[in-house]
Amino acid sequence: MVIRADLHIHTTASDGQLRPARIVKLARERGLSALGITDHDTIAGLAEALVAGRELGLQVIPGIELSTEWEGREIHLLGYGLDWEQGELLAFLETMRQARQRRNLKIVARLRDLGYNLTMADVEREAKGGTMGRPHIAAALVRKGYLPSIDAAFNNLLDRGRQAYVPRAKIPPSRAVKVILDAGGVPVLAHPGLSRADDLIPELVASGLQGLEVYYPHHDPATRERYLKLASRYDLVVTGGSDFHGRPGDNHAELGSCPIGAAELARLKERWQRIRKGTTKD
């Protein structure tokens, strides 16, 4: 049996368009062996995904994608194999949820000042019960006819430097690494080719970073080769995934389009077991 695992997936629990169970079913149909559910700053989709995985015979790895900031840049940390019901993790995520909600309120207020008739109820409808964020504000603007697309909403209003941008609560990447490790998970730097933060990698390794997302749709062959070498230099596991959001025509790839194989998955599991035993050294 050929092992194919897509370890970077978003559901309706954050800014994806498909429910966790639907994604698991779709993955099974596409011949995937394992999934990493990595919603932004929430574990709300994991219970449903894990149940669906057991029912359909597909391995679901509990994960998350934490948003941080470093030198004015957004840096994302993936966590795999979390003890996702751990109290300290849940408390941290609740703090992040409250900060995100305060930011959402400020963005909507700023948009109203700019003449856009938008309410939090409009945003909540787009979030469909999941964690609300800028993508849902963008979707609400599109639905109301103010902008032609989510990308246009970001480019014109919501991106850094635009009129409706509000800075997020600043969490350093090293803090996210510690949160993931404390929850028994494997911290992995997401899409490093997009972050352009190679100078940060040694510092994160010193903080406990355990992996690099080498295989990613927007990483060209030269970029993949660079991060394979860095992973080898620092003894980091190699992961990969599509960053699937389920939105037709967006800039994210299709489910299963950027998988890892059996060797990478096995090494991730070995590192996960090592962390659970309380050590990350050979």
The tens place of each residue's pLDDT in the chain, 282 residues long, gives: 689 999 999 999 988 889 999 999 999 999 999 999 999 999 999 999 999 999 999 999 999 999 999 988 889 999 999 999 999 999 999 999 999 899 999 999 999 999 999 999 999 998 887 778 898 999 999 999 999 998 899 999 999 899 999 988 889 999 999 999 999 999 999 999 998 889 999 999 999 999 999 999 999 999 999 999 999 999 999 999 999 998 665 667 899 999 999 999 999 999 999 998 875 444
Residues forming CATH 1.10.150.650 domain(s) in the chain? 93-158
Indicate yes or no: pTM above 0.85.
yes
5-83+170-276 has which fold? TIM Barrel (3.20.20)
* Spatial contact of 255 and 230, defined as CB atoms under 8 Å apart: no
Per-residue model confidence (pLDDT) at position 20 = 97
Per-residue model confidence (pLDDT) at position 38 = 98
For domain 93-158, the CATH class is: mainly alpha
Per-residue model confidence (pLDDT) at position 220 = 96
The residues with which 213 forms a beta bridge, in sequence order, are 239
Contacts of residue 107, defined as CB under 8 A and 6 or more positions apart, other chains included, come to: 134, 137, 158, 164, 165, 166
Per-residue model confidence (pLDDT) at position 250 = 60
Per-residue model confidence (pLDDT) at position 1 = 66
Per-residue model confidence (pLDDT) at position 182 = 96
The Cα 138–Cα 127 span in angstroms is: 11
> Burial level of 161, CB count in 10 A (0-12/13-18/19+)?
exposed
Residue with token string 């998970």: 185
The Cα 127–Cα 133 span in angstroms is: 8
Reported in sequence order, the residue ranges of 197-272 that DSSP labels E, i.e. its strands, are: 211-215, 237-240
Residues forming CATH 3.20.20.140 domain(s) in the chain? 5-83+170-276
